[in-house]
Structure 1
């Protein structure tokens, strides 16, 4: 089903992608409905009211979990009362990342929207969320929302506290900005190309994954994309170019920007 800004895509009867295809980043957030709580992985760009959308899908209390504290993943955090974040990005959530607001606004408006934004959206009034989390997550933590458990997997590289979420019972891996089709970014000062590769290696060793659910672009990606990205990083490493400033490496389905 499609509304003015968000596209709701059904993964299964209790799992939904809340997508923002009208923006050049094509951001996906994910709603997991348990017995006692609903878990919302990221809150998108903050262009539309994501809370209104998820409340159409569930009446359960909503826990927001954060793959990482970049503006395009925490845009709707202020709409919710319960927010979790990984320990290495608590300060980013509280005090903000070292990117000026005017730069974020420029990024939001970089390309024309391909869908009409909500009438209440005004870039002049755009703010980046900051606040204190309700729970600080660590590697291998389990979030139990009632008949559904999600494991925290620390996958730094794109950011220091980037995490993936593994739902072992269903074989779903929510990959955030670690794995997707498009350009993988590891050139910012706060990124680490070596850690990015190690995180890809870590994810590639996981057993039982039947579906990868990315945070950007094409939502229907093959499980073996993780192996292709792993091979690409190894190729770059072998050329002694796994470091900042070596450029953009094009592998067809994806690029790696160092």
Structure 2
């Protein structure tokens, strides 16, 4: 397989496809149903993720997007059947809100073991005319496996999580992970982020599968993040420009 990616088996029909060689340690997830497969996010676009996916499944592949940041849409260029939440549809079809040079600088911000074929000067942010829209009420039926759309704005206006109803997996994107939770960009909303955490707390979650860093995290991290955000809110610090706050298993940058 393409050695840029690391494949980890979550169960017999769920795989994490990760970019551990990059400092962001981005995770994408392949979910296989009886009729088709779902790929949640496609990473940075440094390697060809489709080559990896096609060795794990021979079923039709539908690509969905937790949010339209560069580190989650880079490999969309290798696929045709792509969906994104309607609130960020224009980011992929019309105008991405962050300049290309800023994105490039972020990709190379820390030393990484890039493959020889990668040239940052040729890097482009994914664009397409044929992106399809997801909505709040949507569910994706893979065949004996239903995935529910959970709107979770805050990190970005159209951020969503995906909930595997039968397995009780929450694919949390950039809402929940061990590391620095970024809510300081102009397009972020710290109060919405807190409300999104409170909304996913209502779900019966067996396993959280995050967008970055360590995969084996406890579902109790949701409660921990809720407590951290709530404490900042009560202190009047849950707003842009307040800085970085460290907690036991995560950091919040507002």
Q: TM-score, normalised by structure 1?
A: 0.96
| Aligned residue number for residue 171 of structure 2 | 174
Q: Which runs of 5+ in 2 are unaligned?
A: none
> Which residue number in structure 2 is paired with residue 97 of structure 1?
96
Q: Measure, in 1, the Cα distance between the counterparts of 2:95 and 2:109.
A: 21
User: How many Å separate the matches in 2 of 1:156 and 1:192?
Assistant: 8
Using the TM superposition, give the Cα deviation of residue 3 of structure 1 relative to its aligned residue in structure 2, in angstroms: 4.7
Shift of 1:135: 2.7
SS at 1:28 equivalent: strand
Corresponding position of 1:245: 241
SS of match in other structure, 2:72: coil
Deviations 1:9-31 (A, max 9, x none): 00001100000000000000000
Could you tell me which residue of structure 1 aligns to residue 250 of structure 2? 254
* Superposed displacement of residue 245, structure 1: 0.6
Note the residue ranges of structure 1 that are not aligned, 5 or more in a row.
Answer: none
Q: What is the CA distance between 1:132 and its match in structure 2?
A: 3.1
Query: Retained in 2: the 8 A contact 1:85–1:133?
Result: no
TM-score normalised by structure 2 residue count? 0.97
Name the CA distance, whole Å, in 1 between partners of 2:152 and 2:211.
14
1:146 and 2:143 are equivalent in the alignment: yes
RMSD: 1.1
SS of structure 2 residue aligned to 1:198? helix
Within a 5 Å distance, the mapping from 1:23-42 to structure 2 comes to 23-42=22-41
Question: What whole-Å deviation, never above 9, does each CA across 1:20-79 have from its counterpart, x for those lacking one?
Answer: 000000000000011111100000001100000000101111100000000000000010
- Preserved contact between residue 36 and residue 62 of structure 2 (Cα < 8 Å): yes
1:128-154: CA deviation from partner (whole Å, max 9, x where unpaired): 101134431111310011111100000
Match of 2:73, SS state, is coil
- Give me the whole-angstrom Cα distance separating, in 2, the residues matched to 1:165 and 1:140: 12
| Residue 157 (structure 1) aligns with | 154
Q: Secondary structure at the match of 2:87?
A: helix
Moved over 6 A (4+): none
